[in-house]
Amino acid sequence: GAGVSQTPSNKVTEKGKYVELRCDPISGHTALYWYRQSLGQGPEFLIYFQGTGAADDSGLPNDRFFAVRPEGSVSTLKIQRTERGDSAMYLCASMASGGNTGELFFGEGSRLTVL
Amino acid sequence: AQSVAQPEDQVNVAEGNPLTVKCTYSVSGNPYLFWYVQYPNRGLQFLLKYITGDNLVKGSYGFEAEFNKSQTSFHLKKPSALVSDSALYFCAVSPELDSWGKLQFGAGTQVVVTP
């Protein structure tokens, strides 16, 4: 597609439920990033994929968070046993040519609300 | 560890006047610095980056930023602000030369340009 697409744009769930957030990067972009942005704060790095593999998952807050990118394109961020503190905007971004061009292309985000 | 600080939560400027958004950084090695902008209901957009070379970096939409190593600053500037520049601006730093998408963002500065 023309840009990074994220679905759903809004997700409301109950505490303890399982959630999946999807990211479709710009075609041909090999690097894909997930960030989390809480209200009034800047985005925080979660995980980075180079192709199919997670090159750096140091930002994942705990083992309830997991992400996959099985075919090197679409990625899914998975959150188990959601907690109210997981409520945030989840941003996906992609970058061309192996991740060293310096410009991230962001999607509009998926807003997660855990009740 | 690396970090960026944006000392102003909000900057107000009249249309046509110069705009400056401040950013200071702290890194243990060479700084790789970025500015992103977030318009309402839009994804984050890349404005410019400093990797090496000239201290004055020119970017999108008429913005530029000046890298000052002695003051550890990377202020964003525009000579003549437009109402359409009203948005949330983020300064960011990358800790690694080979991972420019893994960014540490500041908290953001809201720019309000009045007609």
Q: Give the tens place of pLDDT for each residue, A45-103.
A: 999 999 898 889 999 999 999 999 999 999 999 999 999 999 999 999 999 865 556 78
Residue B7 has pLDDT above 70, yes or no: yes
Backbone phi and psi for residue B24, each to the nearest 5 degrees, phi listed first:
-120, 155
Q: Does residue A67 belong to the interface with chain B, where contact is any CB pair within 8 Å?
A: no
User: What is the span of the domain harbouring residue A32?
Assistant: 26-97
Closest CA to B91 of A43, A109, A108: A43
Q: Report if residue A14 sits inside a domain.
A: no
Please report the pLDDT score of residue B97 as a whole number.
Answer: 65
A16 in any annotated domain: no
Walk me through the domains of chain B, giving residue ranges and CATH numbers: 3-114 (2.60.40.10)
**B15-66, pLDDT tens digit by residue?**
999 999 999 999 888 889 999 999 988 889 999 999 888 899 999 999 999 9
**Is the Cβ–Cβ distance between A34 and A90 less than 8 Å?**
yes
Residue at A34 is within a domain: yes
What are the backbone dihedrals phi and psi of residue A91, each rounded to the nearest 5 degrees, phi first?
-110, 140
Length of chain A (residues): 115
Angstrom CA distances, A91 to A6, A9, A77, B82, stand at 8, 10, 10, 27
CB contact under 8 A, B42 and A33: no
Considering only CA atoms, give the Rg of chain A: 13
Number of Cβ within 10 Å of residue B73's Cβ equals 17
Domain count, chain A: 1
- List the helix and strand counts (H, then E) for chain B: 0, 12
The CATH number that applies at residue A66 is 2.60.40.10
pLDDT of A1 > 70? The answer is no
Residues of B in contact with A33 (CB under 8 A): 101-102
Q: Confirm whether A19 is domain-assigned.
A: no
| Six token digits for residue B22 | 């401040």
Closest-CA distance, B106 to chain A, in angstroms, reads: 6
Could you tell me if residue A113 is inside a domain?
no
The pLDDT, as a whole number, for residue B29 is 82
Within a domain: A77: yes
Measure CB to CB from residue B100 to each of A44, A56, A99 and give the nearest one: A99
